[in-house]
Structure 1
């Protein structure tokens, strides 16, 4: 077996976080391949050729070859497939989250619309009640004036009645007959 090809990680033009992610994904793939849990190969059967490169990738990653990345064709193909599957999984999850967000927004919008309609109905009801209160207050004032007039009339009638009583001759006087 020949030594796996590798290249200095600085040659790839990746940032530190990209290099770290690249190494992590290469380790994940190497571990899956080594333990028999590799990613599906898009309908291709497993071959014996994947074992040496996977072992080489696993060995290189476990030996901690710092500053170098293994670039044998089979490891790169497997890594490409792994990252492609990972991208599809991320895109599917993004789609699910977008759909859930859209449903949530629609639900909240529906609730808000319903709440606005309820609020509008309550405002209309409150305005009607306030108009009724104003009408009742006006009626109350009218009735109060009428009551005051009736009281005044009753007082006038009582005064007139008292005057009549005083002006009448008393029934004790001789010859006087009560009026009818």
Structure 2
């Protein structure tokens, strides 16, 4: 879903053709899943991905399909990429936006609401999407990522900066308001 600067939908484009040197602003999402011990599920992107292949990142990222609400898209991608079903998902960064450029010039340019959830299953990674997974204690991971000693995707690093500002305990992060989502990501009343 292509967006204008206010986050309103202005059209659609195929994901396979939208990421290039002049990537238009579009709608995406990120998710951070934790186990009951407060460990974050990290994923390493498949080595053949067009954008950031082999890079460690947050649990799951993706794009809603036309007409699909963002939370449903998160659930779909968690199932497709990791074989995971989650109960409650909390919107924690409704207005997150970023732009990042790969060494080869390919650009990510997204309004990207961020969700948190708790999972009790073991992931079963889809090798078309995920090369590896790792459970890491948030209390160790976040400071290491922020210090640059734990390499992570550029969007995840920016998200971690904002998530860390919500407090050290991911279970205590206050949910954001759906009113702060980009208009294209809000559910129709």
- TM range, smaller chain: under 0.3
TM-score by length of 2: 0.20
Structure with the larger strand share: 2
RCO comparison, higher one (Cα < 8 Å, 6+): 2
Q: Which has the higher helix share?
A: 1
